[in-house]
Structure 1
């Protein structure tokens, strides 16, 4: 396994050194098993020096390293100083080779971290009335300064701030007071100064000092300074992503922030889509109008899927387009998808190239072995730093064993993102024209698993109560047991002529909806060769279905 040396440029700030050291430790913990060895060192000003970090790795037998510059933009340190320092290490250790990772920014993980720091400074105040001054280090390299301007633009896009303006604390204009004055003249009343810096140091302290001076001179302005990015999981995960990228030799252009590859806030409709010709909204022909109704209500929680997390996603009742917008966004972000037989198969064809798809239906089934294998698969890929999606049909938490996977991940220390889906229990009747509740007809609906027959000792269902009940019953996984269930319901008090609707392949072009009654449903299911997935609806609501079968979709 390749070793990773994280290279800092150094600082006179003891706090900054501590934060760097803490991040190296965090990367080491989060990389357990996926990176052979992790060390960190500085090229100047601070201990431990880079030379000690490389010597430690070489002493443990490593001959091939990834050297990752812990810099946000490629300027003098990243382009010249760190490669020169690594060249000196190669002279000290003959036979040592290294791959050089690229700078950390701009990247969605960093943009999200910046937005979190800004929101913390806002403490509940709204984004729409807030201007942000994003303050970079400043460089004599115009390319590095342009990167800060790019980050400012990306931070503004889709997040609902009044605006984001770039500024610099040294060597480049506008300075901190100059950018604050610019925002004041634009009419800003509340400004968050966001340092585009990883760790504490002389320059971040200077940002605070300049901002405080400006605020004191302009008491009508609300000026706040956000925290630095700092030692956090997002930064550690990004370091590991850059490490993996360097090993693959995949040092791309600006694809980190390409809305056609990566889910960026407010642009969920673009990921994975071909770029189609469209009219600009300002063109006289029109035809492609961007609606801005929602700018007064910016999205507060952009749910994203980070490396090392498992999203347990409900795919909906069958058709590809009945998944939620959030579920679709998770799929677009996924590196690994573990899919059920009942998950919408067409969605798998639209995944990014190179995504690993694991078919859970092919997992060997023994007594509970299948689920254990699936759990292990989710955990293994998450620990390897992948974004993992577990794609299920319907809603994962309605007879979908979704919570078993949540518990297994929790026990393994793997974070989960829970995305509910449209349940076939409600959707299949609706797609066949039957509401599960209706004013004056049914005020309750009970969703029952039919996988065990009523007389089975393992059944947890109170069939006698369901026989007495007047509400709607929806039976899932009951194709093999529907005859015995119907007999039991009649024996416990339901009328034999209670209407029943059987819906097979709901929402698909081949959807079948067969009306019958409780005393005849068992015979009908056998005679018609009903196959899963099928849903049975029992109760007076069935009589509300239109006479002609409703077309799917």
Structure 2
């Protein structure tokens, strides 16, 4: 049961305070989800923590060990480490597993760390993204992700875009948003919705929003709509917990 585990949400980290606020809000929502499913006495014991891979005073493995020390004191035999990443890039496939392995080695048999799948693998994440958007009635959509240079790492975005009847674009690699908009404008589309495939608002989503404004000036004949990232919601917390149930 959830009460036998402590939960650690692992995010990328940012100098922008908004992703950290979103991470903390999501931790609170996960706490509520777990508490609602357990006995009152068990719910009081549920421990949720947050950590970041980058831009933190401590390395990730040190953050994990610090959280583990608190969990052990509270009587938890294990931690569920939950990577809040949408793509199977280097961070998910290499960096986080390495940091978890270092932490597990340091902890020894005091506590077990269970590294869960990254949230991007959940089959219902795309539908959640669509449901949480403001009404976007454009006949064509662009799903824009950060992107990764890891071979095959962007395939989930392309697949998700196809499922949503959209086309994919990326912030860090090609095809870029401007390339996709230019292609659609040339094809005669006049109304385009741009859906950001990000967990939280931050510096990158701000930059994308500015790019949308610039493209609107470049193509005044187009109507461009820009959606919202997923954000911290009870529905996202439920998806995270659902992934954990499949593995615990």
Q: TM-score, normalised by structure 2?
A: 0.86
Q: Which has the larger radius of gyration?
A: 1
Distance 1:3 1:182, change over 3 A: same
Change in CA separation of 1:109 and 1:233 when aligned onto 2, cut-off 3 Å? farther
2:19 to 7, 16, 19: 16
Report the equivalent of 2:72. 58
What is the distance in 2 between the residues matched to 1:46 and 1:232?
24
1:220–1:22 Cα change, 3 Å? same
Q: Structure 2 stretches of 5 or more lacking a match?
A: none
1:15-94 alignment to 2 at 5 Å?
Answer: 15-32=18-35, 33-34=37-38, 36-46=46-56, 50-51=63-64, 52-94=66-108
Aligned positions of 1:115-130 closer than 5 A: 115-118=130-133, 120-122=134-136, 127=137, 129-130=138-139
Would you say 1:199 and 2:200 are equivalent positions? yes
- Residues 180-232 of structure 1 show CA distances to partners (whole Å, capped at 9, x for unaligned) of 11221222211111110001222222211211111111111011110110001
How many angstroms does 1:134 deviate by? Answer: 0.3
Q: Is the 8 A contact 1:109 1:234 kept in 2?
A: no
| Partner in structure 2 of residue 165 of structure 1 | 167
Residue 87 of structure 1 aligns to a residue whose secondary structure is: helix
- Kindly indicate which of the two structures has a greater share of residues assigned to helix: 2
Deviations, residues 414-471 of structure 1 (Å, cap 9, x unaligned): xxxxxxxxxxxxxxxxxxxxxxxxxxxxxxxxxxxxxxxxxxxxxxxxxxxxxxxxxx
Is the 1:168–1:175 contact (alpha carbons within 8 Å) kept by the matching residues of 2? Answer: yes
* Shift in Å, 1:145: 0.8
Cα deviation for residue 105 of structure 1 reads: 2.4
Q: Trace 1:145-544 onto structure 2 (pairs within 5 A).
A: 145-156=154-165, 164-170=166-172, 172-247=173-248
Q: 2:125 aligns with which of 101, 106, 110?
A: 110
In the alignment, the residues of structure 2 paired with residue 213 and residue 180 of structure 1 have an alpha-carbon distance, to the nearest angstrom, of 12
Cα distance change, pair 77–182 in 1 and its aligned pair in 2 (3 A): same
Query: How many angstroms apart in 2 are the aligned matches of 1:84 and 1:152?
Result: 31
Specify which of 3, 9, 22 is matched with residue 6 of structure 1: 9
Number of equivalences? 233
Q: Judging changes above 3 Å, is the alpha-carbon distance between structure 1 residues 189 and 53 closer, same or farther for their aligned structure 2 residues?
A: farther
C-alpha change, 1:59 and 1:84, in structure 2 (3 Å) is farther
Q: Displacement, 1:92?
A: 3.0
Deviation at 1:14, TM superposition (A): 0.2
| TM-score normalised by L of structure 1 | 0.40
Could you tell me which residue of structure 2 aligns to residue 99 of structure 1?
114
Distance 1:223 1:121 in 2: 13
Is the alpha carbon distance of 1:91 and 1:179 closer, same or farther for their aligned partners in structure 2, counting shifts above 3 Å?
A: same
Q: Take 1:242 and 1:106, find their aligned partners in 2: how far apart are those partners?
A: 9
Give the Cα–Cα distance (whole angstroms) in 1 for the partners of residues 128 and 188 of structure 2: 27
CA contact (8 A) 1:169 1:206 kept: no
Shift of 1:151: 0.8
Q: Distance in 2 between matches of 1:106 and 1:186?
A: 33
Question: Is the contact made by 1:121 and 1:192 (CA closer than 8 Å) also made in structure 2?
Answer: no
Distance 1:115 1:80 in 2: 30
The offset of 1:58, in angstroms, is 3.1
Question: How far apart, CA to CA, are the structure 1 residues paired with 2:186 and 2:118?
Answer: 34
Instruction: Give the superposition deviation at 1:68.
Output: 1.2
Q: Structure 1: which 5+ runs fail to align?
A: 157-163, 248-553
**Structure 1 counterpart of 2:149:** 140
Report the alpha carbon displacement of residue 233 of structure 1 after superposing the two structures with TM. Answer: 1.3
Deviations 1:467-496 (A, max 9, x none): xxxxxxxxxxxxxxxxxxxxxxxxxxxxxx
Provide the rounded CA distance (Å) in 2 between the counterparts of 1:246 and 1:106: 13
Deviation of 1:102 after TM superposition, in Å, equals 1.0
Measured in 2, the distance between the counterparts of 1:98 and 1:135 equals 33
SS in 1 for 2:91: helix
- How far apart are the structure 1 equivalents of 2:84 and 2:247? 14
Q: Partners in 2 of 1:217 and 1:106 — Cα distance? A: 36
SS at match of 1:144: coil
